[in-house]
Structure 1
Amino acid sequence: MQPLSIQMLTICGISELPDQRERSVTHVLSILDPDHPDPEAFEAYDPHHRTVLRFHDIIAPVQGMILPQPEHVEAVLRFGDAVAEGRHGRAEGHLLVHCHMGVSRSTAAMLTLLAQVHPDENEDRLFERLVEIRPQAWPNSRMVAFADDLLSRNGRLVDALRRHYGRQIRRMPRYVQIMHDLGRSREVEMAA
Structure 2
Amino acid sequence: MIRLTVSGVHDLPDLTDVAAVVSLRDPQDRRPAELEALDAPVLELVFHDTDGDPLDHAPQEWHLARLERFLDGVRPPSLHVHCFAGISRSPALASFALAYLHPERSDPEVVRRVLEARPQALPNAHLLRLADGRLGRSLARAWRRQAQRY
Residues 30 and 97, structure 1, Cα contact 8 Å, conserved in 2: yes
Are 1:125 and 2:109 an aligned pair? yes
Separation (CA, whole Å) in 1 of partners of 2:100 and 2:72: 9
Are 1:67 and 2:58 an aligned pair? yes
Residues 123 and 160, structure 1, Cα contact 8 Å, conserved in 2: yes
> Which of residues 125, 130, 145 in structure 2 aligns to 1:141?
125
Residues 111 and 139, structure 2, Cα contact 8 Å, conserved in 1: no
Which stretch of structure 1 is more off in the superposition, 142-151 or 74-83? 74-83
Which SS does the other structure have where 1:148 is aligned?
A: helix
Residue 11 of structure 2 is matched in structure 1 by 16
Quote how far apart the aligned CAs of 1:44 are. 4.3
Which SS does the other structure have where 1:15 is aligned?
A: helix
TM-score, structure 1 as length reference: 0.72
When residues 25 and 120 of structure 1 are mapped into structure 2, their CA distance, relative to the original with a 3 A threshold, is closer
When residues 100 and 131 of structure 1 are mapped into structure 2, their CA distance, relative to the original with a 3 A threshold, is same
Which SS does the other structure have where 1:20 is aligned?
A: coil
TM-score, structure 2 as length reference: 0.90
Cα deviation, 1:54-88, whole Å, max 9, x if unaligned, reads 0000121242x20111111222222221222xx6x
Quote how far apart the aligned CAs of 1:159 are. 1.6
Which stretch of structure 1 is more off in the superposition, 34-43 or 72-81? 72-81
Residue 51 of structure 1 is matched in structure 2 by 43
Are 1:82 and 2:76 an aligned pair? no
User: Taking every aligned residue pair, what percent have the same amino acid on both sides?
Assistant: 36
Cα deviation, 1:9-50, whole Å, max 9, x if unaligned, reads 210110122x324x42221100100110111122343x1101
The structure whose residues are more often helix, as a share, is: 1
Residues 8 and 82, structure 2, Cα contact 8 Å, conserved in 1: yes
User: Which of 1 and 2 has greater Rg?
Assistant: 1
Q: Which runs of 4+ in 1 moved over 3 A?
A: none
Separation (CA, whole Å) in 2 of partners of 1:78 and 1:51: 10
RMSD: 1.7
